[in-house]
Amino acid sequence: MKLKQDVPVDMILMASLIFIVVGLLVASIDENTAQIIGAVIATMGGALLIRGIIKKLVKEVGKTDSFLARVSALPYLTKTSIFLITITILLFIFFGGSDFHKDFYYHWLKDGSSALVVVMGVIILGMVFSVYYAFSIKPISRGNKNLILFFVLFVNLFIAFTIADYAFNHPGFIPITFSILNIIIAYLSFIALVRSIKDRSVNISDKQPEKFELIIGSIIVICLFYISHYILNNFWAITFSICMVYAVSINRFIFNRSKDNENLPQV
């Protein structure tokens, strides 16, 4: 059922409710023909309802996207930041301990599916590209930038979900704070990805990092990991979150932020 693009969302939602109510009333009649007709009408109403909700969500995401872009709240990644994210992942793969591996298995591998293969493929490719582009002078292609955004989004979603689950079972200021922080970061990563796909504006810089920036950044991430994981004995996802915050946000302010701004995408 095709509708003109300029039909107001509220009108679509109102029409969908009318169709659903009328369809249910007709279907309540104790006759086979009436029940079939009622089911068809209600189904049309359901289709209209889904269309209206999707159109409403797209409209709201567009408004949110525009506002967040104006205030520079969307994540702005550099070759260094995505490289440090990969360093963080590798640290947990090799030194994360049994808690990390158990949670990874429980949330990712236990109920394996075809979708899992896609997710794992994106994560592995994201890690490979992050290392490759950190040392390559080539600009990151648009397709690879989108894949890297998927990679960052998946990592943030996994950490946000894990910390939220931990905070629910172990309430406290630190778990709740990091749970909220990672949910916000995951949401902003999603908005950045939608913006990239819709408007072809990708918040990933092509500026080539200096070698010392990669080395010092890696050393700082390793130190943060060691202090949080081994000395403070924080839950592994909180340690991961600390390293992610440094990689994505704090590192930019330490190394050549003014030069990064020259490569910011135009809004």
- Per the prediction, the chain carries an average pLDDT of 75
Q: Which residue has the tokens 């996802």?
A: 237
Task: Report which of residues 230 and 199 the model is more confident about.
Answer: 230
> Does the pLDDT of residue 147 top 80, yes or no?
yes
Give me 230's structure tokens. Answer: 């081994």
CA distances from 40 to 15, 53, 54 (A): 15, 20, 21
- pTM beyond 0.95: the answer is no
Q: Average pLDDT in the 66-80 region?
A: 60
* 221 in Cβ contact with 229 (< 8 Å): no
CA 244, 164, 74, 195 torsion-angle sign: positive
Percent of the chain with pLDDT over 70: 70
Length of the chain as a residue count: 267
Q: Select the more confidently predicted residue: 191 or 97.
A: 97
pLDDT, residue 228, reads 92
Handedness of CA 51, 52, 55, 58 (dihedral sign): negative
Torsion over CA: 226, 222, 124, 265 (sign): positive
Residue 22, C-beta contacts closer than 8 angstroms, at least 6 positions apart: 38, 41, 42, 45
Per-domain residue ranges of the chain: 9-59, 79-261
Q: Taking 90 as the threshold, does the pLDDT of residue 253 lie above it?
A: no
pLDDT tens-place string over residues 148-181: 888 888 888 888 888 888 888 887 777 777 877 7
Min mean pLDDT across 20-29, 64-73, 117-126, 167-176 is at: 64-73
Query: pLDDT tens across 32-46, in order?
Result: 777 677 777 777 777
Helices assigned H by DSSP within 71-210: 79-95, 97-104, 114-135, 142-169, 173-199
Judge whether residue 58 has pLDDT over 60: no
The DSSP secondary-structure symbol of 247 reads I
pLDDT, position 68: 47
